[in-house]
Every structure is written in structure tokens, then in C-alpha cells.
A and B are shown apart, each in its own frame.
Chain A
Amino acid sequence: MILLGRLGSILATLFLLSVIVFCLQLLLPGDPATILAGEDRSPETIASIRERFGLDQPLPIQYVRWLGNAVQGDLGMSMRFNQPVVSLVLSKLPVTFQLATMALVIAILIGVTSGIVAAVYAGTAVDQTLTVLSVFGFSIPNFWLGILLIMVVSVQWGLLPASGYVSPLVDPWESFRTMLMPAFVLGSQLAAILMRHTRSAMIEALNTDYVRTAYAKGMPRRRIILRHALRNALVPVVTLGALEFGQLLGGSVLTEYVFSVPGIGKLLVDSVFNRDYPVVQAVVLCSGAIYIVLNLLADIAYVVLDPRIRRGRSA
């Protein structure tokens, strides 16, 4: 029942998002019909375009037209590829999804483990080094990191390919090799964030009376750390949840471009270079929608998992 209310607010947000995306094109200087006409500037073409797209109608009506089309899955045609925008975007989505998943796994592995280690050795040189590294990971521009890695790993050492994409369905190992560097770059920032959160969560957990008693009772250190590590390490990962995905989507833009990975990030960059406005709008809309839907799923999961909330009132 609460979910129905959530659904309503989701729709409101999506609606607002669509308005914002629509309004983007209002920022373009010049006449939209001329822009859409592209190369062919003859008055007849421009006039027919104006009529076809209803560009002479008042704005709210234009918006409703656009929205109506959008809901049916039509977001216009890509000016560059002469392909429906929606199918273009959807075709690139799986690649980005693969990249993001790999990045997430890497981020969790690196971030959480280093967070635990830093917490266990809190205050020592190990901790300080790791903390410094996390600041680095957070501050380094991902496209520069990508360039550096290509420079070293691909050009100098020839270990991994600098670009290209192989579908995991075709050749899983090659797919893994091509994606490893971009996934690492994409995940590095997230790893830094996770490391800090895990570290503070672990430090807090290690200082609880429960743990101190266990230690005093003679429980081997490793067992304590492991038991608590797993439980507490998952907490920041879960709480950051959908936020992480938004981060990854954002980071994918430049990372995919640098490594020539054909996902929606690279699509966005190419469209920027091509001034392919409808595609840019669609990617923005799509990314926002994904984030919103993920949030909704997370809320659903939360409600299902926590019976107190389901009942609507805590005891």
C-alpha cells in the first residue's frame, strides 16, 4: 500500500525529469527547424520540418506531443545515424551494464578489503598509506587514469588491449581482457569511497564492547575480524546502493570514450561531437530513469526485508 504511494512519487519525478530533458532543447540558440534540417537549408525543407514536428505550436503542446511519443517508445531519430534514438540507446545499454557490473565488483573487492585492512591497522603507516591512496583514487580524473594505464599497460607492456569490445557471449576471456582496464578505471573512484566508509564502519564495529569482550575471552583475531568484517562491510555497500550506480553511469561517459567501449557513455560523447541532440536528450533521460527505477527497487527490497516498515509502524 505504501508502495502505491511510492509509485506515484516516482511517476512525478519521472514526469519532472522529462520536462527538464525537453526544455534542454530550448537552450539552443537559433531556430530548431533549421538545426533539424541539418545540411539541407532550403526554405521548403525547413517549412516542412516545422510542420512535421509541430514546431510552430505553443511550447506546452510541443511538450505533450513529445511526451506522448516518448511514452510509446519514440524519442525521435538520431540525426547522425538515421536510426530511431530509442533502439540506438537500447542497443548500447548491455555493454555499459557489463562494464558497470565489472566495475562494481572490482570496486567492492578493492574498496572493502582495503577498508577492512585500514581499520584493523588503524593509525599505523598501513592505514595512512591506504587513506592517502583513497584520496588519490577519489581525486584522479578517470580519463587521465585511463590514458596513463593505456600508456603503461598496453603500449609499454602490451598486456591488455587498449580499446575495442568483444561480447562475453562470443569470447568470454577476450571480453574480460578488453574490459578489465576500463572496469578498473571506472571502479577506482567508487573503490575509494567504499574504502572510507568501510573503514569507519569497521573501526566503529571493532570498538564495540561486544568485540572487545570476544577478544578478551581469547577469540582468535582473525575470526573476530572475519565475522564482523562481513557483516559490517556490507553495510556501506548496501546503503550506498543506487547511488553507486549513478556514479558508475556518470563515470562511464569518459571511460568508455577513452577505451572505445561501445556503451551509452561513448554514445553520449559521440553524439556531443556530432551535435546529435536527440540522442543526448535520450541518454540523459534514460540514465535518470534507470537511477529512479533502481531507487524504487531498493525501496521495495527494503520494505520486503524489514517487516517493521511493512507493518507501517515500528513497535
Chain B
Amino acid sequence: MSAAMPLLVVRDLGKTFVRRSGLPGFRRVSRVEAVRGVSFQVEAGETLGLVGESGSGKSTTARLLLRLIDPTSGEVLLNGQDLAALSAGALRARRGGMQMIFQDPFASLNPRLSVGYQLAEPLVVHGLASRAEARVRVAGLLERVGLNPAHARSYPHQFSGGQRQRIAIARALAIEPDLIVADEAVSALDVSVRAQILNLLADIRREQKLSMVFISHDLGVVWHVVDRVAVMYRGRIVEMGPVKAVFEAPRHPYTRELLKAMPVARPGGRRPSTAPAPGDEAAAGRGCSFAARCPLVEPGCREREPDLVPVGPGRTSACIRAGDVPVFSLGEGMIPPASRERLRRLQDRFLAGRAA
């Protein structure tokens, strides 16, 4: 990688939600540390995946990146500029550097405004185009995402889920951001539509050299989309590294559990053991937050929370037994090794074909 400054630098990001319940004078205060000590970098043109189960803090992190909510600690630097230091007005202007695609295509578009209006809005708000110019650019955006520009006058409910997500992508692209945060952008879509949208995203990333932070709980999707991946658990990053390496040879027990829990689309395949549901609000102990569910747990784990340390080239992990984590094979015995190799070669060829 070049020695130039990474596009996005996140340092020690943290967010604690305070919920005050009850009436004045008899308040109960509960604190939820949604995000703790999260640090990562994204280079220009790179895609970082952020994975984890629900409640891991992924969506909160996404919103922290765009400053839709304010962090309790830490900083976010886009092109070297600390977003926290900006005034509200400058921040709004700077937000142009980052845009977001939301999960629910049915709810992320205002039902009472036309599609064209919502696409033009970012341009108008940031003063990048007059009304007339905006109309032209909107038409261009619609074409770019594969929709008919004549439909700018239509309303969201007249489109299908996949089409709406395309519109959402178009909206995110409107002010030509440097980085896109996709929060479960395809999770609400049918499987067939999912592939189309992912391809569209891949095309756009390639053409415009966009960076992306891709958030998902679906490892199968992440595998095909990202360059590097960060695994989050209970608000912390527990492992990070190139996606291929991390998925084939995980260095944190939680990553392995996630991989095991991936549903495999093969009839007769055994359902993997379900991991216990998260949300067990065990008192925040001093040790590793995963200790309660960890198959590799040992006494030392409960003493202090492990730091994220390097465990290989470009890889980090927050586990004191990183080296003991067994290798993971996709399908764990469900797909015979020879077929697995063949499958992998097919996948690589497919991806390479897309890049051409």
C-alpha cells in the first residue's frame, strides 16, 4: 500500500448510551456501552467489512462515522480532518465526504416525496447545483444505477425493493463522496436481487475508486465484497485482517463461531450448533467479554480484557489464545475437499471475470 495517509482513520471510538428512566427524583440510570475502543483505517479504494451479530455495535459505529450521533470518546478523521472539531455547518459540508446506504429500502426513502426530489436534495442542500442542473444530474444518477431516468417523478412505493435500494445508492453517490458506509445494504433484499445490488456496488466502486465500509451480519455476502474485515463483538473489534485469511484461519474464537453459524445452502447439511443468544446482560466483568461463550476459555481470560494485538501480517486479534484457534473450512466436512477447491476456483474466476 502507498505511504499516503489512509482515507479514513478511526481512533479509539466509543459511545455510551445513557438511559434515564423513571420520574424526576427517582431516576434509574442504565449505561450501555455500545461501542468501545474501536480503531481501524480504510485506505482509498479499499473496502472494509464490519461483521458481528445484532447488538455488536456495528450500526452504532456506522452512525458514529457519519456523526449522526456524537461519540463519547475517540475521533474520526476523514482525509486527515477531525470531524469532531468541525462546527455544525462545516460538518454538514464535510459529510459530503461520506455517505450512507441504509438497510431498509422501504423505509429509507420518504414516501411522500418524489424520487427525483430526494435525489436532487443532497445537491441542492450542499449548493452543488441549481434546480435545473440538479434535474440533469438526477437523470444521470438514475441511469448510473440502472434505472429509467423518466421515473424521477415517481414515488418510492411505485418501485420494488431492489429498485429502491438502487435509488438509495444513487442518493448516496449524488455528491460524489469519497467513502460510502453500507449498513446492511442488502440484508432486506431477496437473494436474487442481492446479487444484482452487490454487482452494482462493485462496478461503482471500481469506476469511481470509492472506499467503502460494508456492514453486515451475513458472512457469505461479506466474503465476496470486502478486502479486509473487522469482527465486532459487544462493541469491540476482536479481530481484523484480510478477509480471506481471517475466514480461512480465524484467530479469535468468536470469529470461528460466526463462521460456523453461517447457514450453508446444501440439502442434507447438518445445522451447525447454534450459538447462545446474545443480550445476556452479564455484569461487565473485568475479563474478556466473550469468556462466557468461548470454547477456548481459560482462567487467564477472566482477568483482564485482551488488547487487539498483531497476530500475523496485517492481522490483529483480541484473544490471548489466538494461536490455538482451529482452522475453519467452509462447510466443515459438508463439502468434500476436492469439490471445495473446485468451488473456490469457480468463485475466484467469477470474481475475476467481474473485475474485467
User: A contacts B directly in the complex (CB < 8 Å)?
Assistant: yes
Chain A residues engaging chain B, CB cutoff 8 angstroms: 1-2, 4-6, 8-9, 312-313
A299 to chain B, nearest CB (A): 11
Residues on the B chain within 8 Å of A9, using CB: 23-24
Which A residues touch B22, using CB under 8 A?
A: 2, 5, 312
B31 CB, min distance to chain A CBs, angstroms: 15
Q: What is the CA–CA distance of A312 and B29 in the complex, to the nearest angstrom?
A: 12
With the chains together, A313 CA to B281 CA distance in Å?
A: 15
How many A-B residue contacts, CB cutoff 8 Å? 23
Residues of A close to B25: CB separation below 8 A: 4-5, 8
11 residue pairs of the A-B complex, CB under 8 angstroms, read: A1-B26, A2-B26, A4-B25, A5-B22, A5-B23, A8-B23, A8-B25, A312-B21, A312-B22, A312-B28, A313-B21
Known pairs A9-B23, A312-B28, A313-B28. 6 more at Cβ < 8 A?
Answer: A1-B26, A2-B23, A4-B26, A5-B22, A312-B21, A312-B22
Contacts of A5 in B (CB 8 A): 22-26
Query: Which residues of chain B are near A1, meaning CB under 8 Å?
Result: 26
Residues from chain B with a CB closer than 8 A to the CB of A4 are 23, 25-26
Ranked 6 nearest A-B pairs via Cβ: A5-B23, A1-B26, A5-B26, A5-B25, A5-B24, A2-B23
Q: How far is the CA of A1 from the CA of B21 in the complex (A)?
A: 13
B28 / chain A contacts, CB cutoff of 8 Å: 312-313
B221 smallest CB distance to A (angstroms) = 35
Bound together, the chains give a CA A5 to CA B21 distance in angstroms of 12
| CA of A8 to CA of B24, assembled, Å | 9
Q: How far is the CB of A68 from chain B (nearest CB, A)?
A: 26
CA A312 to CA B22, docked complex, whole Å: 8
Within 8 A of A (CB), among B112-131: none
Query: 0/1 per residue, B5-39, Cβ < 8 Å to A?
Result: 00000000000000001111110100000000000
Complex CA gap A1/B25 in Å reads 9
Closest A residue to B24 by beta carbon equals A5
* B21: chain A residues within 8 A (beta carbon): 312-313
Q: How many angstroms from the CA of A312 to the CA of B26 in the assembled complex?
A: 11
Bound Cα distance from A9 to B24, whole angstroms: 9
The docked-state distance in angstroms from the alpha carbon of A2 to that of B28 is 11
Residues of B within 8 A of A6 (CB): 23
A122 CB, nearest partner CB in chain B, Å: 30
Please report the C-alpha to C-alpha distance between residue A9 and residue B23 in the assembled complex, in whole angstroms: 9
Which of chain B's residues have a CB closer than 8 A to the CB of A312? 21-22, 28
Question: Which A residues are in CB contact (< 8 Å) with B24?
Answer: 5, 8-9
In Å, the complex CA distance between A313 and B28 comes to 10
Interface string of B306-318 (1 = CB under 8 A from A): 0000000000000
Measured between beta carbons, the chain A residues less than 8 angstroms from B23 are 2, 4-6, 8-9
